[in-house]
């Protein structure tokens, strides 16, 4: 996905999916409206009507509605209503730049799709009764956190009583390593494809802008799901928690943008339906940082950013208050979040009115959502040699834990694909992207195939904090399986998010700042040089340490 958090991160412009233009689009527009905290629904409804709008849909749990109006002054009048925090347009009209998607994927898919014979996994021996999956030898990431046949798998592999939500671009439920753990009953798709950024509906594999909840037309979400819970089933790879229940809570577009409307709906759904942990490897577009009152933003842009923060925090609070542990990627901008400096990428959604502009970012009044929201565990990325990955964001106050995310530049340049993270990849995408030979064998080094007992599955190498976050999610899911209590409301298991977070932090492996500080990344431009602040117990590169599957199960 895109370079920000996709973190590997990830937009509506504003708040939701832009729809195809209609004949009356010049006079009709949709808005996201946020109710004042504590306002009665009837008062909010009356205020919307008084401002000249009508409700199209409503998320009553957190006081947010999608509203349609033909009045050009609706946004201003909504801001004057006592029962409303305000409104922001959700349907800009524009055209995506041709290289928009390529820029988003620049960090995560280092070097692009390169031709050549892919790596072969070495044969592994295990002293226990478990046999590692065939590609385990290529999973340096699992070895780094003790998620192996000789490690955590011997004591705890997760459970279908633990529900893990993947808020991403979708999950390919047909993949042989995903299918055994995929929960079709709980999975939902909260998005509709946006032709401006996702392409025409006719160009989709299914020819539709409305996709079922068991597909992934990007590949990012399937990769994330596989890191968390690919089954230990004798084919391909295994995840951190290979016995966990995987729930697709699709909130991202095919192109990798994340809109606030679907994000809010996915979070409240998670809270209402017994989801134990959610992975959020994205940021909510169109603003990399949502600022309270940045002087270079227009009043409407400032209002939009304030509403994104307010509405998202409400949804996160709702989910956490209903037992959901919230874990997010810290981002791929190689930025000290305690001193972010500037932002030249926002707003990143194509719009005829707004366009990206230079902004100086104040850490005290600007937040990247959901990563910097209250109650969210932020995860930085590490390389195979343990260093902070060159692209990973960091920061003393913002970093909670770290986990393997891959680093294709660990040995300098050129890139080394096997130093990134291998996880499941939809075969349909490998074929659509021209990455397979006629006989099905990969013709690029970034794709690996494993065939066992007549069945074949595909895997791809990616890197990013998008890949680090699901490692932490998998470890958190093991904690719920090991220490959780019976969930009387939804069935399965549950464990208070505060307890999960405490266990995740306390069992993480303390990792001190590097001896060379500021740390210089050999062979990379000077702007990647990063200063680590803090102690071995907690610092800006690693937070409370590198998460560890074996240690969280052992309780130490």
DSSP label at residue 485 = E
DSSP helix/strand/coil, 313: helix
Q: Which of 9, 100, 54, 45 is nearest to 289 (CA)?
A: 9
Strands (E), 357-425: 359-361, 366-367, 376-382, 401-404, 421-425
Q: What's the CA gap between 351 and 355, in Å, rounded?
A: 7
Task: Identify the CATH number of the domain defined by range 100-554.
Answer: 3.40.50.200
Q: Where along the chain do its domains lie?
A: 29-89, 100-554
Residue 115 burial by Cβ neighbours in a 10 Å radius (0-12, 13-18, 19+): exposed
Closest CA to 230 of 455, 367, 510, 425: 425
pLDDT in tens, 115-149: 666 677 666 555 556 789 999 999 999 999 999 99
Chain-centroid distance of CA 257 in Å reads 11
Q: How far apart are CA 197 and CA 503, in angstroms?
A: 40
Tokens of 60: 């009553």
**Which string of DSSP letters, residue by residue, matches 81-110?**
-TTEEEEEE--------TTHHHHHTTTTST
CA distances from 46 to 51, 62, 88, 134, 295 (A): 9, 17, 18, 61, 33
Q: What is the DSSP string of 520-556?
A: P-TTS-GGG-B---B-SSSBTTTBT-B--HHHHHHT-
Tell me the three state secondary structure of residue 185.
Answer: coil
Cα→Cα distances 234→88, 130, 152, 245, 424, Å? 50, 10, 17, 18, 14
In tens digits, the chain (556 residues) has pLDDT values of: 443 334 333 333 333 333 333 334 447 888 889 999 999 999 999 999 999 999 999 999 999 999 999 998 999 999 999 999 999 877 554 555 545 555 656 788 876 555 666 677 666 555 556 789 999 999 999 999 999 999 999 999 999 999 999 999 999 999 999 999 999 999 999 998 878 777 887 777 777 788 899 999 999 999 999 999 999 999 999 999 999 999 999 999 888 889 888 999 999 999 999 999 999 999 998 999 999 999 999 998 999 999 999 999 999 999 999 999 999 999 999 999 999 999 999 998 766 556 899 999 999 899 999 999 999 999 999 999 999 999 999 999 999 999 999 999 999 888 899 999 999 999 999 999 999 999 999 999 999 999 999 999 999 999 999 999 999 999 999 999 999 999 999 999 999 999 999 999 999 999 999 999 999 999 999 999 999 999 999 999 999 999 999 999 999 8
Peptide bond before residue 199 is cis, with ω within 30 degrees of 0: no
Q: What is the C-alpha to C-alpha distance for residues 556 and 546, in angstroms, rounded to an integer?
A: 13
Question: Is the alpha carbon torsion for 218, 219, 224, 229 positive or negative?
Answer: positive
Q: Which residues contact 203 (CB under 8 A, 6 or more apart)?
A: none
29-89 has which CATH code? 3.30.70
Q: Write out pLDDT tens, residues 315-335.
A: 999 999 999 999 999 999 999
C-alpha distances in angstroms, 203 versus 113, 172, 194, 254, 436? Answer: 22, 18, 12, 12, 20
Helix-strand-coil percent breakdown of the chain, rounded to 5? 25, 20, 55
Instruction: With CA atoms as reference, report the closest residue to 397 among 539, 525, 188.
Output: 539
């Amino acid at each position: 996905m895109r370079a920000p958090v996709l973190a590997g991160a990830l937009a509506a412009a504003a708040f939701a999916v832009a729809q195809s233009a209609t004949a009356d689009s010049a006079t009709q527009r949709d808005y996201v409206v946020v109710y004042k905290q504590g306002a009665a629904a009837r008062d909010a409804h009356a205020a919307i009507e008084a401002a000249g709008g009508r409700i199209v849909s409503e998320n009553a749990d957190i006081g947010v509605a999608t509203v349609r109006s033909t009045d050009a002054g609706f946004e201003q009048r909504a801001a004057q209503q006592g029962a409303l925090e305000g409104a922001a347009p959700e349907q800009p009209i524009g055209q995506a730049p041709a290289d928009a998607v390529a820029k988003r994927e620049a960090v995560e898919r280092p070097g692009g799709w390169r031709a050549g014979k892919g790596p072969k996994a070495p044969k592994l021996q295990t002293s226990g009764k478990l046999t590692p999956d065939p590609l385990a030898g290529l999973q340096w990431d699992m070895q780094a956190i003790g998620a192996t046949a000789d490690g955590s798998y011997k004591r705890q592999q997760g459970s279908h009583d633990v529900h893990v939500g993947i808020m991403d671009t979708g999950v390919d439920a047909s993949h042989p390593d995903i299918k055994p753990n995929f929960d079709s009953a709980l999975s939902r798709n909260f998005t509709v494809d946006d032709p401006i950024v996702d392409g025409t509906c006719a160009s989709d594999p299914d020819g539709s802008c409305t996709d079922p909840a068991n597909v992934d037309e990007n590949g990012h979400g399937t990769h994330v799901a596989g890191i968390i819970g690919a089954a230990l089933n004798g084919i391909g790879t295994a995840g951190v928690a290979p016995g966990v229940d995987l729930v697709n809570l699709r909130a991202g577009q095919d192109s990798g943008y994340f809109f606030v409307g679907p994000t809010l709906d996915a979070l409240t759904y998670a809270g209402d339906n017994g989801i134990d942990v959610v992975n959020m490897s994205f940021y909510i577009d169109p603003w990399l940082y949502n600022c309270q009152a940045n002087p270079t933003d227009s009043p409407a842009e400032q209002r939009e950013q304030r509403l994104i923060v307010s509405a998202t925090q409400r949804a996160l609070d709702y989910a956490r208050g209903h037992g959901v542990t919230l874990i997010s990627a810290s981002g791929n901008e190689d930025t000290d979040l305690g001193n972010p400096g500037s932002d030249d990428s926002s707003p990143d959604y194509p719009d005829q009115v707004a366009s990206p502009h230079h902004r100086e970012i104040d850490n005290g009044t600007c937040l990247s959502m959901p990563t910097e929201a209250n109650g969210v565990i932020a995860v930085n990325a590490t390389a195979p040699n343990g260093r902070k990955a060159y692209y990973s964001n960091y920061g003393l106050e913002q970093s909670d834990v770290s986990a393997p995310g891959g680093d294709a530049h660990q040995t300098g340049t050129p890139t080394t694909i096997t130093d990134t993270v291998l996880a499941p990849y939809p075969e349909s995408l490998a074929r659509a992207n021209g990455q397979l030979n006629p006989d099905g064998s990969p013709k690029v080094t970034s794709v690996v195939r494993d065939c066992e007992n007549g069945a074949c599955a595909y895997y791809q190498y990616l890197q990013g904090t998008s890949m680090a976050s699901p490692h932490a999610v998998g470890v958190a899911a093991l904690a719920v399986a090991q220490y959780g209590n019976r969930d009387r409301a939804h069935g399965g298991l549950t464990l208070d998010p505060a307890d999960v977070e405490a266990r995740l932090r306390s069992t993480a492996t303390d990792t001190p700042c590097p001896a060379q500080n500021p740390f210089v990344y050999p062979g990379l431009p000077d702007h990647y040089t990063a200063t680590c602040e803090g102690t071995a117990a907690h610092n800006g590169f690693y937070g409370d340490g590198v998460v560890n599957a074996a240690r969280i199960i052992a309780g130490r």
